[in-house]
Amino acid sequence: MKNRSGGLVYSTEQGKMCPGCRNPVDQCTCGKPASPAGDGVVRVSRETKGRKGKGVTLITGIPLDDKELKAFAKVLKAKCGTGGTIKDGVVEIQGDHRDLLVPLLQQKGWTVKKAGG
Protein backbone atom coordinates (compact mmCIF):
# COMPACT_ATOMS: atom_id res chain seq x y z
CA MET A 1 0.00 0.00 0.00
CA LYS A 2 1.32 3.38 -0.98
CA ASN A 3 1.59 6.19 1.59
CA ARG A 4 -0.31 9.27 0.34
CA SER A 5 0.96 11.83 2.82
CA GLY A 6 2.95 13.71 0.17
CA GLY A 7 2.03 17.14 -1.02
CA LEU A 8 2.65 20.78 -0.33
CA VAL A 9 3.97 21.33 3.19
CA TYR A 10 5.09 24.96 2.97
CA SER A 11 4.30 27.74 0.56
CA THR A 12 6.00 31.12 0.41
CA GLU A 13 2.58 32.68 -0.32
CA GLN A 14 0.51 30.94 2.35
CA GLY A 15 3.07 29.76 4.93
CA LYS A 16 2.67 26.39 6.62
CA MET A 17 0.08 24.08 5.03
CA CYS A 18 -2.14 21.49 6.72
CA PRO A 19 -1.41 18.00 5.36
CA GLY A 20 -5.00 16.85 5.92
CA CYS A 21 -7.09 19.44 4.09
CA ARG A 22 -4.24 21.12 2.15
CA ASN A 23 -5.32 24.58 3.32
CA PRO A 24 -3.10 27.12 5.10
CA VAL A 25 -2.84 26.26 8.82
CA ASP A 26 -4.81 29.35 9.89
CA GLN A 27 -7.68 28.27 7.57
CA CYS A 28 -7.54 24.55 8.40
CA THR A 29 -10.93 22.79 8.34
CA CYS A 30 -9.76 19.37 9.59
CA GLY A 31 -10.34 19.87 13.32
CA LYS A 32 -13.57 21.82 13.08
CA PRO A 33 -16.64 19.72 13.75
CA ALA A 34 -19.30 20.11 11.11
CA SER A 35 -22.79 21.15 12.14
CA PRO A 36 -25.07 18.16 12.30
CA ALA A 37 -26.98 17.81 9.07
CA GLY A 38 -30.72 17.51 9.48
CA ASP A 39 -33.99 18.52 7.94
CA GLY A 40 -34.01 21.93 9.66
CA VAL A 41 -36.71 21.02 12.19
CA VAL A 42 -36.06 21.00 15.93
CA ARG A 43 -38.09 18.22 17.54
CA VAL A 44 -39.14 18.17 21.18
CA SER A 45 -40.31 14.84 22.58
CA ARG A 46 -40.78 13.02 25.86
CA GLU A 47 -39.31 9.63 26.66
CA THR A 48 -39.32 7.26 29.64
CA LYS A 49 -37.77 4.17 28.09
CA GLY A 50 -34.76 2.85 30.04
CA ARG A 51 -35.16 5.37 32.85
CA LYS A 52 -37.22 3.37 35.36
CA GLY A 53 -40.37 5.36 34.57
CA LYS A 54 -38.75 8.77 34.96
CA GLY A 55 -39.55 11.00 32.00
CA VAL A 56 -37.12 13.25 30.17
CA THR A 57 -37.64 15.81 27.44
CA LEU A 58 -35.52 15.18 24.35
CA ILE A 59 -34.59 17.99 21.97
CA THR A 60 -33.13 16.90 18.63
CA GLY A 61 -32.09 18.76 15.50
CA ILE A 62 -30.67 21.91 17.10
CA PRO A 63 -28.41 23.43 14.41
CA LEU A 64 -25.47 24.33 16.67
CA ASP A 65 -21.96 22.93 17.01
CA ASP A 66 -20.91 21.10 20.19
CA LYS A 67 -19.62 24.13 22.09
CA GLU A 68 -22.68 26.30 21.35
CA LEU A 69 -25.03 23.38 22.02
CA LYS A 70 -23.52 22.86 25.47
CA ALA A 71 -23.98 26.54 26.36
CA PHE A 72 -27.54 26.59 24.98
CA ALA A 73 -28.44 23.41 26.91
CA LYS A 74 -27.24 25.08 30.09
CA VAL A 75 -29.63 28.00 29.44
CA LEU A 76 -32.54 25.62 28.76
CA LYS A 77 -31.86 23.64 31.95
CA ALA A 78 -31.79 26.87 33.95
CA LYS A 79 -35.15 27.98 32.46
CA CYS A 80 -36.68 24.62 33.41
CA GLY A 81 -35.03 24.55 36.83
CA THR A 82 -33.83 20.96 36.35
CA GLY A 83 -30.79 19.00 35.32
CA GLY A 84 -29.99 17.34 32.08
CA THR A 85 -27.28 16.27 29.68
CA ILE A 86 -26.22 16.16 26.04
CA LYS A 87 -25.75 12.79 24.34
CA ASP A 88 -24.79 12.56 20.65
CA GLY A 89 -26.18 16.01 19.84
CA VAL A 90 -29.48 15.32 21.65
CA VAL A 91 -30.30 17.52 24.64
CA GLU A 92 -31.98 15.62 27.49
CA ILE A 93 -33.74 17.63 30.19
CA GLN A 94 -35.18 15.90 33.24
CA GLY A 95 -38.97 16.00 33.45
CA ASP A 96 -41.70 16.91 30.98
CA HIS A 97 -41.03 20.51 29.91
CA ARG A 98 -42.24 20.43 26.30
CA ASP A 99 -44.77 23.24 26.76
CA LEU A 100 -42.10 25.52 28.24
CA LEU A 101 -39.34 24.66 25.75
CA VAL A 102 -41.22 24.97 22.44
CA PRO A 103 -41.71 28.79 22.71
CA LEU A 104 -38.09 29.25 23.84
CA LEU A 105 -36.83 27.37 20.80
CA GLN A 106 -39.18 29.25 18.46
CA GLN A 107 -37.76 32.57 19.73
CA LYS A 108 -34.42 31.52 18.23
CA GLY A 109 -36.10 31.43 14.81
CA TRP A 110 -36.12 27.65 14.40
CA THR A 111 -39.00 25.52 13.15
CA VAL A 112 -40.10 23.52 16.19
CA LYS A 113 -42.40 20.51 16.34
CA LYS A 114 -43.61 18.36 19.19
CA ALA A 115 -42.80 14.75 18.40
CA GLY A 116 -44.15 11.56 19.92
CA GLY A 117 -46.88 11.27 22.50
Q: What is the pLDDT of residues 29-74, one digit of tens each?
A: 776 555 555 677 899 999 888 778 788 999 999 888 888 999 999 9
What confidence tier does 108 reach under pLDDT thresholds 50, 70, 90?
A: confident
Q: Between 92 and 23, whose confidence is greater? A: 92
Specify the higher pLDDT residue, 48 or 21.
48
> What's the Cα-to-Cα distance from 22 to each of 6, 19, 30, 82, rounded to whole Å?
11, 5, 9, 45
Per-residue confidence (pLDDT) for residue 43, from 0 to 100: 92
Question: From CA 113, how far away is CA 79, in angstroms rounded?
Answer: 19
* CA–CA dist 24, 58 (Å, integer): 40
Please give the DSSP secondary-structure letter assigned to residue 94. Answer: E
Position 116 pLDDT exceeds 60:
yes
Exposure string of 34-67, with b = 16+ CB inside 10 Å and e = fewer, is: eebeeeeebbbbbeeeeeeeeebbbbbbbebeee
pTM above 0.85, yes or no: no
Residues 6 or more apart in contact with residue 64 via CB below 8 angstroms: 35, 72
Closest CA to 56 of 83, 75, 29, 34: 83
Give the model's pLDDT for residue 37. 56
The model's confidence at residue 1, banded by pLDDT at 50, 70 and 90, is very low
